[in-house]
Amino acid sequence: MNKPEITKDILIEDLVNDYAFSVKYMMEKGIRCIMCGEPIWGTLEEAALEKDFSENEIKDIILEMNKLAKKELDNVDTITKIETTKL
């Protein structure tokens, strides 16, 4: 399954749906991503700017989230390999 790359232009809805870790991560940063149980509208950049993050801080957030996404993907690949070898 191909997931969209995490960029400043990724829609919050896509981010939340494709990267489960993103909800907790953004909440820890104070970036609102969920309202009334549903993803908010807009992009990651718009949500971060709303909370007064600078362009450099947004770039750092994106880099960190992409690292977390890669780690999550690597974990899924490892689990898949383990499950396959058990068959």
Q: For residue 72, what are its two tokens? A: 């999550």
Reported as a single tens digit per residue, the pLDDT across 10-25 is 999 999 999 989 999 9
Cα end-to-end distance, the chain, whole Å = 22
Reported as a single tens digit per residue, the pLDDT across 27-81 is 999 998 887 766 678 999 999 999 999 999 999 999 999 999 998 877 655 554 5
Q: What share of the chain is helix, strand, coil (3-state, %, to 5)?
A: 65, 5, 30
pLDDT of residue 7: 97
Spatial separation of the C-alpha atoms in residues 68 and 55, rounded to whole Å = 20
